[in-house]
A = this chain, B = another copy of it.
Amino acid sequence: MSCLDRVIACAGFEPSQFRAFRISGVLVGHVTADFSKRLRRHDSVFVVDDNHVDLHSSFTDAEARTVAVAKVLQALRADGLVPGWRDEPYPVAEAFNAPALLTIERAAVPLFGVRGYGVHINGYVRRAGEYHMWIARRSLKKPTGPGKLDQMVAGGQPAGLALRDNLIKECGEEAGIPPALAAQAKSVGTVSYVVDRPDGLRRDVLFNFDLELPEDFEPKNVDGEVEEFYLWPIAEVMTLLCNSDDFKFNSGLVLIDFLVRHGYIDSEHPDYVEIVAGLHA
Contacts and interface: CB of A to CB of B under 8 A. Distances in A.
Interface of A: 95-97, 162-164, 186-190, 192, 205, 207, 209, 260-263, 266-268, 270-274, 276-277, 279-280
Nearest to A208: B267
Contact of A272 (B96, B260, B270, B272): B96
Contacts of A186: 262-263
Contacts of A96: 272-273
Contacts of A268: 162-164, 187
A273 B203 CA distance: 13
Q: How many copies, total?
A: 2
Contacts of A263: 186-188
Contact of A266 (B162, B187, B272, B273): B187
Given A188-B263, A277-B280, 8 more contacts: A95-B274, A162-B268, A187-B267, A188-B260, A189-B261, A190-B273, A190-B276, A190-B277
Contacts of A273: 95-97, 190, 205
Select the residue from A189, A205, A274, A280 with max chain B CB neighbours within 10 A: A189
B97 A267 contact: no
9 contacts: A97-B273, A163-B268, A164-B267, A187-B266, A187-B268, A188-B262, A189-B261, A190-B272, A205-B273
Contacts of A271: 97
B192 A267 contact: no
Contacts of A279: 280
A277 B188 contact: no
Nearest to A267: B187
B260 A189 contact: yes
A106 B111 CA distance: 48
Contact of A270 (B97, B162, B277): B97
A275 to B, nearest CB: 9
Contacts of A261: 188-189, 261
